[in-house]
Chains A and B, each alone.
Chain A
């Protein structure tokens, strides 16, 4: 079975500072990887995804993530955050083959950007 661990439940950071939100997964088979963002009182929206190819993936709003197969990680980074990045971020995986393709989500990391 697959699982996703987001190592930090809350990350406070000052505006214009860099940030890294950590995500590790476990799976015995190859996976697809995703980061979603949830702003207050809204649904989730896709930030970026890794399906294959280059391990560095760029997404919306200046975010990027790097797939590291040996460390089974998919950490999310942004070099300079804004107040508007305050939200909850969810890492998710789905199995490449032999399943319904349903996403498995982590518990989320709340990013709080302070002025």
Chain B
């Protein structure tokens, strides 16, 4: 059983609100990721981190930002939410940063912006 947790699982908010999606893992993994998942589409990598104080943008441009102050914690923030941000956001971590290893995923945060 994976030890990676996301909160909230579901969030409905109005346009213009600031939101933070939390992600924590207890496996001591250095590499962490945020993916955006929409129905019928590929999972798109929007952010990743190699470790503390390391963050990189992924393949899909996103208005969200991330931080990595502690190894176990990788929150994603939207300063001003818009309906176009409505999506499911999946957090993941891996022991191996070279692409050979398994990614452990959280259960996702489903965001709806009205």
Taking Cβ atoms with an 8 Å cutoff, the residues of A that contact B are 4, 9, 32, 36, 41-46, 49, 51, 90, 94-96, 99-108
Evaluate contact between B100 and A90: CB separation under 8 angstroms.
Answer: no
B92-114 toward A: CB 8 Å interface, digit per residue (1/0)?
10001111101111111000000
Evaluate contact between A49 and B102: CB separation under 8 angstroms.
Answer: yes
Taking Cβ atoms with an 8 Å cutoff, the residues of B that contact A are 2, 4, 33, 35, 40-43, 45, 48, 56, 58-59, 90, 92, 96-100, 102-108
Evaluate contact between A46 and B107: CB separation under 8 angstroms.
Answer: no
Evaluate contact between B100 and A51: CB separation under 8 angstroms.
Answer: yes
Evaluate contact between B43 and A95: CB separation under 8 angstroms.
Answer: no
Evaluate contact between B99 and A94: CB separation under 8 angstroms.
Answer: yes
Nearest chain B CB to A61 CB, angstrom units: 15
CA distance A108 to B58 in the complex (A): 20
- Specify which chain A residues have a CB less than 8 angstroms from the CB of B35 in the assembled complex: 105
Evaluate contact between B42 and A43: CB separation under 8 angstroms.
Answer: no
CA distance A32 to B98 in the complex (A): 10
Nearest chain B CB to A60 CB, angstrom units: 11
